[in-house]
C-alpha cells in the first residue's frame, strides 16, 4: 500500500501498488487524558476553544505532513496544524484503534 499525506486537503490517501485509490484517512482523534486534565484545570481555555472552532473539529487531521508505518503495523501521521502525531493500528486496509500523541 502507498500512503500519501495530502496536506492541503487534510487527509491521508491510501493507494494500492497499481496506484488505485483504496481509502482516505481524515482522522479520529480524541483528547488525551492529559489534554482533558489541562482543559478541566483551565475552564476559560475550554470555552475559548469551543467558541473559536469547536472541540469536535479537533478530532480530524489538519495539515498532515508525513506518514510512517513501523514494524508493529502502527501507522504514524504527523498532524502539523494540530501539533500532534496520530497513531493508528493498521489492519489492512482499515485502521482500528488510535493513540493520542503529544506536542511536536
Q: pLDDT 10s digit of each residue in the chain, 104 long?
A: 889 999 989 899 989 889 999 888 887 666 666 666 666 777 776 677 666 666 556 778 888 999 998 888 888 998 888 788 888 876 655 554 444 444 33
pLDDT for 104 equals: 34
Q: How far apart are the first and last CA of the chain?
A: 26
In angstroms, the CA 53 to CA 38 distance is 18
11 and 61 Cβ atoms separated by less than 8 Å: yes
The top-level CATH class assigned to 2-99 is: mainly beta
- Beta carbons within 8 Å of 92's beta carbon, 6+ residues apart: 1
Count of C-beta atoms within a 10 Å radius of residue 75: 21
Q: Where are the domains of the chain?
A: 2-99
Amino acid at each position: 500500500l502507498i500512503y500519501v499525506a495530502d496536506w492541503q486537503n487534510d487527509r491521508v490517501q491510501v493507494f494500492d501498488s497499481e496506484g488505485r485509490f483504496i481509502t482516505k484517512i481524515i482522522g479520529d482523534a480524541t483528547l488525551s487524558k492529559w489534554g482533558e486534565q489541562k482543559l478541566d484545570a483551565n475552564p476559560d481555555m475550554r470555552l475559548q476553544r469551543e467558541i473559536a472552532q469547536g472541540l469536535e473539529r479537533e478530532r480530524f487531521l489538519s495539515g498532515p505532513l508525513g506518514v510512517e508505518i513501523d514494524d508493529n503495523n502502527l501507522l504514524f501521521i504527523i498532524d502539523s496544524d494540530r501539533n500532534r502525531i496520530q497513531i493508528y493500528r493498521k489492519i489492512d486496509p482499515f485502521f482500528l484503534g488510535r493513540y493520542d500523541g503529544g506536542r511536536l
